[in-house]
Amino acid sequence: MIDSWMGMHGFPWALAANANLVNWSGDWAWGMPLIIFTVLIHVAAFGVISRQTLNASSRTIRRYPVSVFVVVVGLTTLLATTLHAIEVAIWAVAYRFLGALPDNRSAMLYSLNAMTSYGHVGFGLGDHWRLMGALEALNGWLLFGLSTAFLFTVIQRVSLGARRKHHGSA
């Protein structure tokens, strides 16, 4: 069935032929650098957060292992969430700069929806910028993947540090 549909519609050639209806070069020109920029911000910030939280926790974990674990994981989660909000704002500024959305509130709401793939906003980007919204969703998946990996690593290191301190092996 799919083969007959593809043959009938000339897929992917029909898609390529219709691609000139909407020029997406601006989406790629803005979206890819924004993805790279936000990923670099994310990785650099996590490097700083990692160094600070693990250094601070290693000094106090022996006396208060559970408290230190809760504070470090909670603070790291708060900082990661703040980092995501900053990255959403970066995309929102780009949408406003490009005139893709009418006001700051709409730009932030759309950006947060795109970044999280929530998808329940009652408005969207014009045809010319739609691919950029999809690229932001891709960016969100990458950033949330990095955040998940980072939080997992922090949890492992802090809990391992607590066990070592508790058993006197460190």
DSSP for 4-55, written as a single string = HHHHHHTTTHHHHHHGGGS--HHHHHHHHHHHHHHHHHHHHHHHHHHHHHHH
Instruction: Say if 9 falls within a structural domain.
Output: no
Instruction: Say if 123 falls within a structural domain.
Output: yes
Q: Which residues contact 159 (CB under 8 A, 6 or more apart)?
A: 69
Domain interval for residue 70: 25-167
How confident is the model at residue 22, as a pLDDT?
55
How confident is the model at residue 59, as a pLDDT?
72
Burial of 18 (0-12, 13-18, 19+ CB in 10 A): exposed
Q: Among 20-29, 30-39, 112-121, name the one with the lowest average pLDDT.
A: 20-29
Task: Determine the residue type at 161.
Answer: G
How confident is the model at residue 5, as a pLDDT?
47
Can you tell me the distance from the alpha carbon of 93 to that of 107, in angstroms, rounded to the nearest whole number?
7
| pLDDT tens per residue, range 40-81 | 999 999 999 998 887 777 777 777 788 888 888 999 999 999
Instruction: Say if 4 falls within a structural domain.
Output: no
Instruction: Say if 133 falls within a structural domain.
Output: yes
Can you tell me the distance from the alpha carbon of 24 to that of 129, in angstroms, rounded to the nearest whole number?
7
Question: pLDDT category, 10, cuts 50, 70, 90?
Answer: low
User: Which residue would you say has higher pLDDT here, 159 or 15?
Assistant: 159
Instruction: Say if 11 falls within a structural domain.
Output: no
Which pTM does this prediction carry? 0.79
Number of compact structural domains in the chain:
1
Instruction: Say if 60 falls within a structural domain.
Output: yes
| pLDDT tens per residue, range 113-160 | 999 999 877 888 988 899 999 999 999 999 999 999 999 999 998 887
Instruction: Say if 90 falls within a structural domain.
Output: yes
How confident is the model at residue 166, as a pLDDT?
53
Can you tell me the distance from the alpha carbon of 141 to that of 19, in angstroms, rounded to the nearest whole number?
26
Instruction: Say if 14 falls within a structural domain.
Output: no
68 within 8 A of 57, measured Cβ to Cβ: yes
Q: Which residue has the tokens 């704002």?
A: 89
